[in-house]
């Protein structure tokens, strides 16, 4: 997979989910991110959004992080890369937020980033790093609508488990269907 080989420039490929995530982050985080960045300490692995000065990284997690969209080996590899990213970010006190389609909303993104800051021992920094006022919430309303349409599309076209709330029965059923040997891949965009 091109995106994860070392010594390559940032990937120009962006999924629709990442595109929607980018719109939220432009409103929510006070810093402009480095997108599809491969910091040297990740040995060729890529962060979807890295706010270097703020010490925040955000990864959009498509279906391939949860079910064998591209085969069981690809799922195992994706999860291994996710663990490496998490460990490397934690060792540098970088708050790594992983967001899937079910969490694409202003409130969920803010809660997830605040939670990751707290886990990194940096909860008092949220007010300085994030735009949390009424204006940012209002600016995200059209993006929330776009995210709802996106979830409906990946649910209807692909039965993608990440379009359902984590832990819900519907997500469990969709995950079982996506993992069955008769199911073909579930592209995320």
Q: Give residue-wise pLDDT tens across range 35-57.
A: 999 999 999 999 999 999 999 99
pLDDT at 52: 92
Residue 153: what pLDDT? 85
Across 82-117, b (16+ Cβ under 10 Å) vs e yields beebeebbeeeebbbbbbbbbbbbbebbbebbbebb
Classify residue 72 by its DSSP letter. H
Strand-pairing partners, residue 50, are 34, 57
For residue 148, what is the enclosing H or E element?
helix 134-158
DSSP strand pairing (95-100 vs 56-61): parallel
Q: Let me know how long the chain is.
A: 189
Q: What pLDDT sits at residue 109?
A: 92
Q: What pLDDT does 119 receive?
A: 87
What's residue 4's pLDDT?
Answer: 39
pLDDT on residue 25: 95
pLDDT value at residue 1: 35
Q: What is the pTM of this model?
A: 0.76
| Secondary structure percentages of the chain, helix, strand, coil, to 5 | 55, 10, 30
pLDDT for residue 5: 38
The contacts found for 117-123 with CB under 8 angstroms, 24 or more apart, are: 117/56, 119/95, 120/55, 120/90, 120/93, 120/94, 120/95, 121/93, 122/55, 122/93, 122/95
- Predicted local confidence at residue 188, as pLDDT: 45
3-state secondary structure of 57: strand
Give every residue of the chain whose pLDDT is below 70, as ranges.
1-13, 63-66, 68-69, 160-189
pLDDT at 3 (0 to 100): 41
CB 165 within 8 A of CB 171: yes
Position 85 scores a pLDDT of 95
Would you give the DSSP letter of residue 150?
H
Contacts of 34-39 with C-beta under 8 Å, sequence gap 24+, read 35/10, 36/3, 36/10, 36/11, 36/12, 37/10, 38/6, 38/8, 38/10
């Amino acid at each position: 997979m091109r995106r994860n080989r070392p010594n390559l420039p940032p990937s120009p490929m962006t999924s629709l989910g990442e595109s929607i995530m980018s719109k939220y982050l432009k409103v929510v985080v006070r810093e402009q991110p480095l997108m599809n960045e491969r910091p040297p300490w990740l040995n060729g692995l890529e962060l979807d959004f890295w706010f270097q000065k703020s010490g925040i990284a955000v990864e959009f997690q498509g279906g391939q992080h949860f079910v064998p969209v591209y085969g069981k080996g690809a799922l195992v590899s994706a999860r291994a890369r996710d663990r490496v990213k998490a460990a490397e970010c934690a060792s540098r006190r970088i708050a790594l937020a992983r967001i899937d389609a079910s969490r694409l909303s202003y409130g969920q993104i803010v809660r997830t980033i605040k939670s990751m800051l707290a886990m990194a021992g940096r909860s008092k920094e949220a007010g300085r790093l994030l735009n949390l006022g009424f204006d940012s919430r209002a600016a995200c309303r059209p993006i929330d609508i776009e995210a709802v349409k996106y979830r409906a599309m990946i649910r209807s076209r692909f039965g993608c488990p990440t379009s359902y709330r984590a832990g819900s029965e519907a997500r469990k059923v969709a995950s079982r269907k996506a993992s069955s040997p008769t199911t073909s891949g579930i592209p995320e965009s």
